[in-house]
Amino acid sequence: TIVVFDRIRENLKKAGSRAPFENVVETSLRETMTRSINTSLTVMLVMLTLYLFGGISTKFFSLAILIGVFAGTYSSIFIASFLLVSWHKFSLKS
């Protein structure tokens, strides 16, 4: 989420007030999507391997990390940016 929001902040500085906020968010998501998914898949692959081949003491830990990385990636890409755009639209109305 921080990476996506930082990219949005940088793109807002570049675009200024010329581009609509929704387009800046979409551009920022497109720029960070591949990097975020690749990083998450790499961590998830390692955690899945640790879960399958690791000892009994690491199974629950790796499963928790696996679920957390999946949920965090999903929320960063799909939920956080949607909420940011919705919040921005709401703030313009009031």
Polymer length in residues for the chain: 94
The alpha carbon of residue 80 and the mean position of all alpha carbons in its chain are separated, in whole angstroms, by: 8
Q: pLDDT tens across 19-69, in order?
A: 999 999 999 999 999 899 999 999 999 999 999 999 999 999 999 999 999
Which structure tokens are listed for 1? 């989420």
- pTM of the model as a whole: 0.79
Q: pLDDT tens across 45-58, in order?
A: 999 999 999 999 99
d(CA 34, CA 19) in angstroms, rounded, equals: 23
d(CA 31, CA 40) in angstroms, rounded, equals: 16
d(CA 11, CA 1) in angstroms, rounded, equals: 15
